[in-house]
Chains A and B, each alone.
Chain A
Amino acid sequence: MTLELGLNQQPAHTRQGSSIGQPLTRRDGFLKVTGTARYAADNHPPGMLYAVLAVSSIARGRVVSLDIEAAKAHSGVVEVMTPLNRPALATDPDAKDHPFMFRLDLLQNDGVRYPNQSIAVVIAETLEAATEGAALLSPRYETEPARVGLDGAESFVPRGVGVGNPAVQQMGDVEAGLESARTRIEATYETPAQYHNAMEPHAIVAAWDGDRLSIDTPSQGLAMAQGRIAGLFGIAPQNVHIRSPFLGGGFGSKGMISGPQVLGILAAKLVGRPVKLVLRREQMFGPVGHRAPTRQTLRMGMDGEGRLTAISHHARTTSSTFDDFFEPAADASHTLYASPAIATSHDAVRLDTGTPLFMRAPGEATGSIALESAIDEAAHACGMDPLEFRLRNYAEVEPMTGKPFSSKALRECYEQAAEAFGWAGRPLEPRRMRDADGYLTGWGMGTATFPAIMFQAEARAVLRADGSGLMETGAQDMGQGAWTAFAQIAADGLGLDIDQIDFRAGSSDLPNAGIAGGSGHTATAGMAIHNAGAAVIARLADLATRNEASPLFGAGNEGVLARGGRLYRRDDESRGESYTEILARAGLAEIEGHGKGAPDPTSQEAYAKHAHGAVFAEVKVDPDLGQIRVTRLVGAFAAGRVINPRLVRSQYYGGMIWGVSFALHEEAVTDRRSGRIQNANLAEYHVPVNADVPSVEALLVHEDDPHVNALGIKGVGEIGITGTAGAVANAVWHATGVRPRRFPIRIEDLLG
């Protein structure tokens, strides 16, 4: 799939020289602001029917009856899919061959294991008929008591947390460290269940042609989705073609193909016609993942100079009764602060909820708000400025492993953000600052961090006789700007202007670009693109330097430079020739190259790789009424090479606003008896509105990293949440003297 747009519509792209580092506007921006970008649900293949889910209103039990007759009798309803007639699958949806194969609810039986689980699918000629058909099913249940809340069941220690980290880890002797400490703090913090709530609901348009399947659906991981679907239906992966040119946000909830998406495919199979299925907002609160709640206890000891002697971080979290994902919250304490002893541990309870999943900064976000709050408490206990305390405990090597950092410009982040914010002169004691209008004013800070992760990716590059280039990789644009950043890397990789590049992504028939997740997409797919470009240039250089007729003859592959559609001699830039000339002389219509992106195992062993940042927040709190307003946020981040500063800054803004959301707004409210979520809509599930974020500033701190990958890219997608949430919480404390212990912070917590 090619992004259909004329670049001449966007003069901002017109520039000279290398593409990487340029603040280009989004290449897909024009399509989006004019409403012509086609998202999955915008597709209407001929003969298409509409499918609507019927979902369970109980948390646990069994469906004992469905009025299928009534639904079918409704005008326009074509079919009702239930466990009785659901087409057979080649794989049991409850099978789990590897940790990232999440169990799906695909009408395999009449069981209900969480609210909003799919229990039937109604397929009709119109959306309205399908919706009414689903209502007419009037399910009856055999209900068992729901298990709700962090104490809702017996706890256990999971085998692994997050992506398979050990649930319990220890370095040094924490108890001895606490024992020897001059000052100690202990504090417990709670974070709520949160739901990704991407603006675009999970949607699918599926069409079968024999055993070939064509689908439009948003996916953060096309190759993984393709493999999972192929496995479920017992067809070859190449028979599954997924188009996902744009995602209206994913945040992790579109990383794996979800149950409802597969039900859309099953529905199309059942009726033998293309089918569209789009989740309703409230149906996104269950089957497509969430961030599990946590209760975290931190203990810290400090010596007489304010140096940490021990950090102990324990996190209780929750998972579903039938699958495993455990929010690795305590692991946040592994990397940031130097301490001779660190212990982290997790336990969990199994509840009648959908399975939690990766949600933007999984573990890092939840862990960070608790860790940064505790660090703030520790600094205050030592009578130290929170920035000074953090610098006193600055980790020169990764504390948990002792590995050197591949790069770490955190000091510069602290410095630049503190300077821009105007941190100096902040009173140590809380409730000391009032503004002219009498509002309590508080300043808080937090450290941001996120690992620099890489997955596996491939790309294919082609240079054509006319001098234009093609770059293909199945990359995914969730709104972060992949269409633009990857085209910039492709342009530099091929030594062409960006306007000369045809960049293709967002489709499963392109080379596997890995997943858009873990803040690792730009690094991973970017390296594949870079290497594919380099492979083409190497072949081109080979053609030129071996040919006597070329001005580059004898320069050797290493002796040439590619730029602006020409190769030059490195030692004499006046000698060179164009790509077209080289290809014409060789009589070639095009040359092709392939590239891979993957982490380098040796540097992986040798270095700890993380992006870092520092965030400072100012809040105002009404002294009587407890309402909070974040009036200023300043962050500075160092995350290796910046491909496109405009896009990167947007990622930081988005992350920082999410941090405000974490501290002050987001919470799924679950009925303590039924287990049903009470605010499964965007009116009552609050995220910040414009008025909540009057001023956000993100500074890009220069950082060269020779170890993460050849391009020096870390990742920027998630780090902004970390640090910010804690900074806001700490600012609220500084304003009021009340230490927030549960999030989001509520008015009643501050009424005193």
Chain B
Amino acid sequence: MRDFDYFRPATISDAVAAAAEPGSAYLAGGTNLLDLMKGGITSPERIVDISRLPELNRIETLDDGGLRIGALVRNADLAHDPAFAKAYPAVAEALLSGASAQLRNAATVGGNLLQRTRCSYFYDTASACNRRQPGSGCSALGGENRLHAILGWSDACIATHPSDFCVPLVALDAVVEIEGKEGRRHVTLEEFHRLPGDTPQRETVLQPGELIVAVRLPAQAASFASHARYLKVRERTSYAFAVVSAAAALVVDRGKIRGARLALGGVAAKPWRARSAEAVLLGADADEASFVRAADAALADASPSGDNAFKIELARRIVVRALTSALAGTPAVMPALPASPFSSLPGVRHDA
């Protein structure tokens, strides 16, 4: 590991000031950053340890009925907050389907948004990777890419964003609260992550040194509470990233869909809000035929970036299933296997 400076600010403004130096990185739970540093994928010169900033550790209800989640709230704490899990069950389910119990205890809200892709070539410093080293090429193209993107990819990069948490968040119109030298700004999560285009190294709209201070959910997000699910297909029952996932949330009134939210995970370099599918659903009958049409709309622009054509069909089916589950209603208690296709099997919750 390379030598680096370590700085532990006492306030948000100290943190932002400290991170203004080039080569700085914020340290939150460290579950991604430390791996990247050990592997030589990133080598920050200065670590700004925000993990003990108390201001960022709160979950607050806002006057307008929205919710504000501090950037340092741990994934596990958020998922297990009873009020939160009741109002935003799909988000809690997504959180609990991610990583392992130990990792969720350490991982933070901000860190989860900013976790890097799991593309193996990105982690393998001997391989060319435009995201890690702009202009070097993309080894995943023509390589081992069965888990890579089917939407929004470019020849410069076909990686996916691996977060589960972000998928229901983007469906629910979450907003990222950012603090920088110029003060505070708000960006929707949908706009927060960028598609690769020619500059895959620019993964988000964050400017160097900017700090995520919170994620907000608007009041309306809670209106889906009774019909919201997250579904994650993966290659073992737990402790695996999504092959494809989907968050679906509905408001249904007398058989008609009055509100619809849909987002996909594991398909693109960002959590993928499927607005065209939502448009299909709005006002339609709440039935399988509508869900199939929505799935077709969601995947209309999909194309394989390699040996991953199966993900397109899989994504369609996941959309249909997620919408079907959402229609059936949010389960009264968190399933034993959150977000799993087997979540209806009874059992004690497996945390790893």
Binding site for B on A (CB under 8 A): 57-58, 128, 131-132, 135, 437, 439, 620, 622, 624-627, 629, 631, 664-665, 669-674, 676, 678-679, 683-684, 686, 688-692, 694, 746-748, 751
Contact = CB atoms under 8 A, between A and B. Distances in A.
A133 to B, nearest CB: 11
Interface stretch (B51-59, B199-207, B268-276, B314-322): B314-322
B234 interface: yes
Given A672-B144, A694-B347, 12 more contacts: A622-B342, A625-B318, A627-B234, A629-B342, A671-B139, A689-B238, A689-B352, A691-B236, A691-B239, A691-B352, A747-B235, A748-B310
A686 B352 contact: no
A622 B341 contact: yes
B143 interface: yes
B240 interface: yes
25 contacts: A58-B126, A132-B2, A437-B344, A620-B345, A622-B341, A625-B314, A625-B318, A627-B234, A629-B237, A629-B342, A664-B235, A669-B144, A672-B143, A673-B143, A676-B124, A678-B120, A678-B121, A678-B124, A689-B100, A689-B350, A691-B352, A692-B238, A694-B347, A747-B235, A751-B310
Contacts of B344: 437
Interface residues of B, number: 42
B333 interface: no
Contacts of A748: 146, 310, 314
A690 B352 contact: yes
B313 A751 contact: yes
Contacts of B240: 686
A690 B233 CA distance: 17
Contacts of A135: 2, 40
B120 A57 contact: no
Chain B interface, DSSP helix/strand/loop, else mixed: loop
Contacts of B243: 747
Contacts of B352: 689-691
Contacts of A437: 344-345
Contacts of B139: 671
B142 interface: yes
Contacts of B118: 683-684
Top 6 closest pairs, chain A to chain B, by CB: A57-B126, A748-B310, A691-B350, A678-B120, A691-B237, A691-B238
Contacts of A689: 100, 236-239, 350, 352
Given A676-B124, A678-B124, A626 B235 contact: no
Contact of B321 (A131, A625, A688, A746): A625
Contacts of B337: 691
B235 A746 contact: yes
Contact of A439 (B126, B317, B342): B342
A206 B321 CA distance: 58
B233 to A, nearest CB: 5
Contact of A665 (B40, B235, B314, B350): B235
B314 A673 contact: no
A631 B336 CA distance: 14
Contacts of A694: 347
Given A624-B321, A627-B341, A673-B143, A751 B239 contact: no
Nearest to B125: A57
Given A678-B121, A689-B236, A691-B238, A128 B1 contact: yes
Interface string B100-140: 10000000000000000010110011110000000000010
Contacts of B121: 678
Given A679-B120, A691-B337, A664 B233 contact: no
A417 B128 CA distance: 52
Nearest to B126: A57
Nearest to B231: A625
Nearest to A141: B126
Nearest to B139: A671
Contacts of B236: 664-665, 686, 688-689, 691-692
Contacts of B310: 747-748, 751
A673 B142 CA distance: 9
A686 B243 CA distance: 14
Nearest to A678: B120
B239 to A, nearest CB: 5
B233 A676 contact: no
Contacts of B313: 751
B121 to A, nearest CB: 7
B197 to A, nearest CB: 25
Nearest to A748: B310
Given A664-B236, A691-B352, A624 B317 contact: yes
A676 B128 CA distance: 13
A64 to B, nearest CB: 16
B237 A692 contact: yes
B250 to A, nearest CB: 19
Given A689-B238, A691-B352, A747 B127 contact: no
A346 to B, nearest CB: 27
A688 B237 CA distance: 8
Given A135-B40, A691-B337, A678 B144 contact: yes
Contacts of A674: 126-127
A625 B317 contact: yes
A694 B337 CA distance: 12
Given A620-B342, A686-B236, A676 B314 contact: no
Contacts of A678: 120-121, 124, 143-144
A474 to B, nearest CB: 37
Contacts of A439: 342
A413 B104 CA distance: 43
A751 B314 contact: yes
A660 to B, nearest CB: 10
A751 B308 CA distance: 13
Nearest to B324: A624
Interface string B173-210: 00000000000000000000000000000000000000
